[in-house]
């Protein structure tokens, strides 16, 4: 039996309900309070999204997420973590005359259930697949809801091994190794701010650890090899294209709807937010943003986090990366040690309204990669 089937078959109703209670349990123990940190800064309304879509009344609004029509047979689910962490990331669904595709597995089965309910309000066509854009917990921990409903779960071929390595193998096991780098960072903090950053990182890791132990993890059961991508899927008078692009993790997918000029980007776009880079390839990511920049001026992006956006969202993310790169290059040129270079990055005034998941997850790895690239003469 392959690992994917084993995990699927492990889903019992009891375990499933245990998994469904992740959100409450995790919130209760987490020093990372989404209401005062990450979530508070996310722009959920207004903005410069090119579509009138965001002003449309929602098909369904659960507080923690709302599903809105962004085109014929195309709905975006935009999360508001300040009102609950069931979904946490954005997603949505697309359908034609014959079939539908769900985008994202969300942070909990309740999040995935919200999306299923929304789809069923919009159409009765059969569901061809649910796609996780990448392996991160907030895009995959709700998969059990889809698995229980018999919906095939598709993902990039890197997702299953990464979920096994980072989540499944740690479930109900000692997690000292997971906390060790942040604990070392905390112990060796070089300033008060640096100490706060390390505490925040540690809080996030403990939140994640709790989620790992209290979620029924369902792995994707249909892996898409990069050599098979881009892949066109005919949903009946509606074609979607699944592509892979480098950047956020070792295996990210996007979903394009060419006839409507809508792109579901997963976390390759964080709108109005510092990007999460802890397992990113930042130079690859910049190339991906250049690709997005060549899409049309009217393209509607459904980002992984934050409000719907157009090209201004791509431009903003590029400018944030440019600022991080400039800082890292300057530090490298001055011979400042990397650890200090990471701690010395200061959020500029114009980015103070952006959300920041945690310092270590967003800033440290980006600075480290740009610092090395500067030393190698690549930037």
Q: Which residues bind Zn ion (CB under 5 A)?
A: 136, 267
Query: What CA–CA distance (Å, rounded) separates 170 from 174?
Result: 7
* Shortest spacing between CB 136 and Zn ion, in angstroms: 4
CB of 255 to Zn ion, least distance (A): 15
In the bound complex, what is the minimum distance in angstroms from residue 267's beta carbon to Zn ion?
4
Distance set, CA 267 to CA 72, 145, 304, 305, 314 (Å): 24, 22, 4, 7, 12
Decide if 131 contacts 253 (C-beta within 8 A).
yes
Report the side by side order of strands in the sheet with 74-79: 60-61, 65-71, 74-79, 91-95, 100-103, 127-131, 153-156, 222-224
Q: Which is nearer to Zn ion, 84 or 303 (CB)?
A: 303
DSSP state, 1?
-
Q: Least distance to Zn ion from the beta carbon of 308, Å?
A: 18
With respect to Zn ion, which residue has the nearer C-beta, 104 or 194?
A: 104
With respect to Zn ion, which residue has the nearer C-beta, 128 or 136? 136
Q: Which is nearer to Zn ion, 138 or 194 (CB)?
A: 138
Nearer to Zn ion, 136 or 185 (CB): 136
Q: Which is nearer to Zn ion, 269 or 343 (CB)?
A: 269
C-alpha of 286 from chain center: 17
CB proximity list for 17: less than 8 A, separation 6 or greater: none
Q: Which residues pair with 302 in a beta bridge?
A: 264
Report the nearest approach of Zn ion to the CB of residue 158 (Å): 13
Which residue, 102 or 341, is less far from Zn ion as judged by CB?
102
Instruction: Round to whole Å and give the CA distance between 334 and 317.
Output: 26
- Tokens 């969300």 belong to 106
- Whole-angstrom distance, CA of residue 290 vs CA of residue 306: 20
Torsion-angle region of 104 (φ positive above 0: left; ψ -120 to 50: alpha; else: beta):
left
Output the smallest distance, CB 266 to Zn ion, in A. Answer: 7
Separation CA 282–CA 367 (nearest Å): 10
Closest CA to 152 of 90, 105, 118, 98: 105
Q: Are 103 and 65 in contact (CB under 8 A)?
A: no
Instruction: Report in angstroms how near the CB of residue 248 gets to Zn ion at its nearest.
Output: 6
> Measured between alpha carbons, how far is 227 from 245 in angstroms, rounded to an integer?
12
End-to-end CA distance of the chain: 47
Q: CB nearer to Zn ion: give 267 or 364.
A: 267
Query: In the complex with Zn ion, which residue's Cβ is closer, 136 or 272?
Result: 136
Q: How far is the CB of 134 from Zn ion (least distance, A)?
A: 6
Q: Hey, what are 346's tokens? A: 């200061």
Q: Which is nearer to Zn ion, 96 or 275 (CB)?
A: 275
Q: Is the dihedral of CA 162, 165, 171, 174 positive or negative?
A: negative
């Amino acid at each position: 039996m392959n690992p994917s089937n084993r995990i699927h078959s492990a889903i019992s109703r009891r375990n499933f309900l245990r998994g469904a209670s992740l959100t409450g349990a995790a919130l209760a123990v987490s020093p990372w309070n989404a209401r005062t940190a990450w979530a508070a800064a996310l722009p959920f309304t207004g903005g410069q999204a090119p579509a009138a879509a965001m002003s449309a009344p929602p098909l369904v609004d659960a507080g923690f997420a709302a599903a809105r029509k962004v085109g014929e047979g195309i709905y975006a689910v935009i999360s508001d973590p300040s009102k609950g962490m069931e979904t946490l990331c954005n997603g949505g669904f697309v359908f034609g005359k014959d079939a539908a595709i769900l985008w994202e597995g969300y942070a909990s089965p309740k999040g995935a259930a919200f999306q299923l309910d929304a789809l069923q309000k919009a159409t009765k066509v059969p569901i061809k697949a649910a796609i996780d854009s990448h392996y991160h917990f907030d895009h995959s921990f709700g998969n059990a809801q889809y698995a229980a409903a018999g919906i095939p779960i598709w993902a990039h071929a890197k997702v299953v091994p990464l979920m096994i390595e980072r989540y499944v193998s740690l479930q109900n096991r000692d997690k000292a190794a997971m906390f060790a780098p942040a604990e070392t960072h905390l112990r060796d903090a070089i300033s008060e701010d640096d100490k706060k950053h390390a505490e925040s990182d540690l809080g996030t890791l403990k939140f994640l650890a709790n989620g790992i132990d209290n979620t029924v993890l369902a792995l994707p059961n249909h892996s898409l090899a990069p050599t098979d991508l881009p892949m066109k899927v005919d949903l009946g008078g509606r074609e979607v294209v699944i592509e892979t692009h480098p950047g956020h993790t070792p295996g990210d997918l996007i979903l394009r709807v060419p006839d409507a000029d809508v792109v579901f980007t997963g976390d390759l776009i964080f709108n109005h937010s510092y990007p999460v880079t802890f397992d990113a390839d930042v130079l690859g990511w910049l190339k991906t943003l250049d690709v997005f920049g060549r899409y049309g001026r009217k393209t509607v992006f459904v980002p992984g986090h934050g409000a719907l956006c157009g090209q201004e969202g791509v431009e903003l993310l590029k400018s944030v990366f440019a600022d991080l790169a400039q800082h890292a290059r300057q530090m490298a040129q001055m011979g400042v040690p990397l650890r200090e270079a990471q701690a010395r990055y200061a959020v500029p005034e114009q980015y103070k309204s952006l959300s920041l998941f945690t310092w270590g997850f967003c800033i440290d790895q980006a600075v480290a990669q740009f610092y090395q690239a500067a030393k190698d003469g690549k930037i």
